[in-house]
Amino acid sequence: MDVAKVIQQHKRLCNLISERRIKQSLDILSDMITSSSSGDFRDEYENIVMTYRNMLSYTIDGIKDPERNKVYLKLIQSLLGLSDRVRQDILSHYSGWHTYWIKQQAEKELKLSGKTIVETVDDLVFKSELDEWLKLTNEINPDPESELSRKHRQLIKNIFNHLWLTDYYGEAESSLIKIILTSGKFKWHEASIFTTAVTLSSLRTWQQDKLFHLIAIYEAGQLQVMERALSGLILNLHYYNGRVLLYPDITDRIEKMSHDGTFREHCRIIVLQTIRSRETEKLGKKLHDEILPQVEKLKPMIEEKLDLDNILPHDKNEEKNPDWSDMFNDSEEIFKTMEELTKLQMEGADVYMSAFANMKHFDFFKDFQNWFVPFYPDHETVDEIYNDEILGPGTNELAEALYKTPFICNSDKYSLLLNLKYLPSAQKSMMLKVFRMELEGMQELNSEESGTDPYKSFRINVTQYLQDIYRFFKLSPYKKEFEDLFTGKLDIYNSVFFRMTFKASDAEASLADYFFSKNFYEDALDLYLRHVSEKPSEVQLYEKIAYCYQDNGNFEEALNYYRRAELIDRKVWTVKKIGLCLRRLGKNEESLVYYLQASDMQPDNIHSIIMIAHCYLDLKNYEQALKYYFRVEYSEPGNFKILRPIAYCYFALGRFDDSEKYYDRLSENKLTAHDQINKGHLALCKGNKKEAIDFYRQSMVGGELTKEQFLSIFSEDKPLLLLLGVNPDDLPILLDYLLFMIG
C-alpha cells in the first residue's frame, strides 16, 4: 500500500472540496475507498453520491429548494468526514506508524475490559484509576518513588494517549476534559500536555468539537495552559483554512471572540511567533538556492572580474532607505510585541535549535508526551540530580533558574538538565555558578519590569511552547508520522482566521513592515501590493514595493515603482536606485544619467562616484571611468580594491606600463583568479607569451576557476585582446599549449 499516495489523495480531495469541485473529489474518494478495509465506507459513499446527483437534477430542472444551501453544506461536511475516516482507516492498517501501534494497543485493552466503544466517561479503561485519583485530597503529595506516584504517571499517560488518539470526541471526552478543567485534581503542567493532546488529535482528524474544547480551555484562563490552547487553536485554524468557512459555528464563535482586545493581542503574539519560527531555515534556503544565484546571473561579467561590488565597504544607508528607520512608529498598536519578542531572543531560537538538536537522544524523549511537557522544578527528571555529589546541593537553584529563564524552551531545558549528569566535575561546578547568576539577574529584572507588560507571561509561555512543537516536528523520532506545520510559507495572514480576528488593512500593513524588517520580501510584497490603490500618494509604500522587487531580481517592476516614488518625492536614494535597476537591465547610458544626477544632488557621496565610474566602464569609456576611480582612490588611499578597475582601465586603453604599476601594487595583497588572467593578458599584449601562459595557469591552479570557466572568460576577452594588437593566429596555439600544460 502506497501510504504517501493516500495522504496526497486526501490533501487533493480537501483542496477540491474547498474549491467546490465536488465531482472530482468524489472520484478521488472512490479510489481511496477501494484501498480501505471497510465495506461500510462504500455504502456511505453511494448515499452521498445519490444525494448529490438528486440535488444537481433538482437545480438543473429549476426546482426551487429553500433548504438547498443547508443540504449542500451538510453534504460537503459529510464528504469531508468520510474522506477523513477512510484516510485514518488506511493509515491504521498499512502505515506501520508508532501512532497507530499505540492506538491499537489501547483498543485491545478496551476489548479485554469487555467493551468495544467508549461512549461515556465510565467506559474509559482507566476510569477506576481516575476515580481513585479524584478521591484523594489536594494536600497529598506522594513520594515520586511510591506506587501511588507510579500509578498517577500512568494515568496521565493514559489520558494523554486517549485524547490524542481518539478520532472523534463524544460525551466521554467532553466529560474527561471537564474533569481536567474543574476538578482541581490536575496540576497546570498535566493540563498543559492534555491540551497538546487535543491539538494533535485535531490536526490528525478534523472535528469542530475539538476546536470548541480548545476555546473552552483558553477561556478557563489557567496560565501555561491557556497559551497552549490558543496556540493549538490557531495552528488548527491555519492548517484547516480550506475547511473553516464550511463550519459556520466555528467562524461565528471566532468572530465573537475577536471583539475582545485581549484575545486579539494574544493572537498577534502567537501569529508573530509562529511566523518567526521559519526565519533561518526557510529564508536561508531561499537566499542560498534561489535569490543569490539569480542576482549573480544578472551581473555583467566585468563586475566579477574586477570585484566592483566590494571596492567600498557596504553602506547600510545605500541599501534600505534611511527614511524607513521609524517605519514601526505607526505599527505599535497592532504589533507592539515585536520589540519584546526580540528581547526574548526569538531570533536566537535557531541557534538554540542547532545547539540542542544533538541532545534529544535521551530515553526521556522516547516517551511521546515528553516532547510537550512543560519544565517545572518538581519533575522527576530534576529529582535525579539530587544524587549527584556536585549538582545535588544546588539542585533547587538549578531547577528554579531553568524554570524561570525565558530564553530556553521546555524541551531544551530537559535536554540541558539530562546532559548535565555526564559533564566533567569542573563543568558541573561552572554551570551551577552560571545558573545562580542567571537566577539573581532574572529576579532583579522581574522586579524592575513588574507591572509594565501585562502580556509578558503569555508571550514567554507561547514562545517556549511553539519552540517545543517546532522541535517535535523537526527532531522527534516520530516526526515522519506528522505533517510538519513549520514548512512552507506559514502565511497565516492569508487565512480566514486572520481576516476574522484583525482589521485587515491595519494588521496587514503592520505585518508587512514586520516582514520587510526581517527580509521576508516576498511576503512583504504580497501585503504591500494590496494597499497601493488605497494609498496612491504614500511614497514609502512605493519605495518598499520597489525594494522587494529589486531583492527578488525583478528589476523591471522595481524600476516602475521607484519611478512612481520619484514622481512624488525626488530623493538621492531613489535616484540611485533607479540607476541601479537600469544598470541591472543593461541600460547603461540611462543608468549613468541617473547616477550623475545623484552626484549633483550629493557631490561628495563616494557611492555615487564609484557607480558613475562603473557605468563608464560598462560603456567602455575607460578615460572617463579612470577619472572617477581616481577620485575614489584619492578619498580612500588605503583601499587596495580600487586598484583593480584602475589597472584594468589602463590596460584597456593600451597604457600597459601604467596598468602594470597598478597590478604590481595590487599584488601586495592576494590576487584573484581574474587578476591572474588580466595580468596574463597584460603580459601577452607586451609580447611575453610564456609569462602570460604562467599567469593563465595560476588562475586555475587554486581551484577558483575551472578549465571551462577560464576558456569562457578568455573567449569573452578575445575582442579586446585583438583590439590591443594581439595576433589572432597566436591565440589558438597559445591556448592549446596551456591546455597541454595543465592536462
* pLDDT tens column, 200-228: 999 999 999 999 999 999 999 999 999 99
Of the candidates 245, 242, 240, 185, the one whose C-alpha atom is nearest the C-alpha of residue 214 is 240
- In this prediction, residue 352 carries a pLDDT of 65
- In this prediction, residue 458 carries a pLDDT of 93
Residue 742: which pLDDT band, with cuts at 50, 70 and 90? confident
pLDDT in tens, 373-390: 999 988 888 877 766 777
The answer on pLDDT for 572 being more than 50 is yes
Query: What is the average per-residue pLDDT within 487-508?
Result: 81
CA distances from 399 to 355, 403, 633 (A): 20, 6, 60
Query: What is the average per-residue pLDDT within 167-189?
Result: 95
Better-scored residue on pLDDT, 431 or 136: 136
Q: Is the dihedral of CA 580, 582, 588, 590 positive or negative?
A: negative
- In this prediction, residue 339 carries a pLDDT of 41
**Three-state secondary-structure class, residue 622:** helix
Query: What is the average per-residue pLDDT within 557-566?
Result: 96
Query: What is the average per-residue pLDDT within 516-524?
Result: 87
- In this prediction, residue 282 carries a pLDDT of 46
The answer on pLDDT for 446 being more than 70 is no
**Mean pLDDT computed over every residue of the chain:** 85
What phi-psi label fits residue 654: left (phi over 0), alpha (psi between -120 and 50 degrees) or beta?
left
- In this prediction, residue 340 carries a pLDDT of 37
pLDDT in tens, 715-725: 999 999 999 99
- In this prediction, residue 12 carries a pLDDT of 96
What Rg, from alpha-carbon coordinates, does the chain have?
Answer: 33
- The set of cell numbers assigned to 491 is 502565511
- In this prediction, residue 1 carries a pLDDT of 73
d(CA 113, CA 121): 14
Main-chain dihedrals φ then ψ at residue 281, nearest 5 degrees: -65, -50
The answer on pLDDT for 289 being more than 60 is no
Residue 373 DSSP code: P
The answer on pLDDT for 395 being more than 50 is yes
The answer on pLDDT for 141 being more than 80 is no
- In this prediction, residue 303 carries a pLDDT of 63
Query: What is the average per-residue pLDDT within 689-711?
Result: 90
What is the SS3 assignment for 24-43? HHHHHHHHHHHHCCCCHHHH
Better-scored residue on pLDDT, 66 or 449: 66
Share of the chain above pLDDT 90, in %: 57
The answer on pLDDT for 569 being more than 80 is yes
- In this prediction, residue 722 carries a pLDDT of 94
Query: What is the average per-residue pLDDT within 271-278?
Result: 82
- In this prediction, residue 314 carries a pLDDT of 58
Query: What is the average per-residue pLDDT within 66-88?
Result: 93
Better-scored residue on pLDDT, 631 or 517: 631
Query: What is the average per-residue pLDDT within 89-118?
Result: 89
Residue 187: which pLDDT band, with cuts at 50, 70 and 90? very high
Query: What is the average per-residue pLDDT within 350-357?
Result: 66
What is the SS3 assignment for 652-720? HCCCHHHHHHHHHHHCCCCCCHHHHHHHHHHHHHCCCHHHHHHHHHHHHHCCCCCHHHHHHHHHHHHHH
The answer on pLDDT for 415 being more than 50 is yes
Residue 238: which pLDDT band, with cuts at 50, 70 and 90? very high
- In this prediction, residue 2 carries a pLDDT of 86
- In this prediction, residue 490 carries a pLDDT of 80
* Residue 188 near residue 223, CB atoms below 8 Å: yes
Q: Is the dihedral of CA 497, 501, 503, 508 positive or negative?
A: negative
Query: What is the average per-residue pLDDT within 154-160?
Result: 95
- In this prediction, residue 462 carries a pLDDT of 93
- In this prediction, residue 396 carries a pLDDT of 75
Query: What is the average per-residue pLDDT within 135-160?
Result: 84
Residue 507: which pLDDT band, with cuts at 50, 70 and 90? confident
The answer on pLDDT for 478 being more than 80 is yes
Residue 426: which pLDDT band, with cuts at 50, 70 and 90? confident
- In this prediction, residue 344 carries a pLDDT of 36
**Three-state secondary-structure class, residue 106:** helix
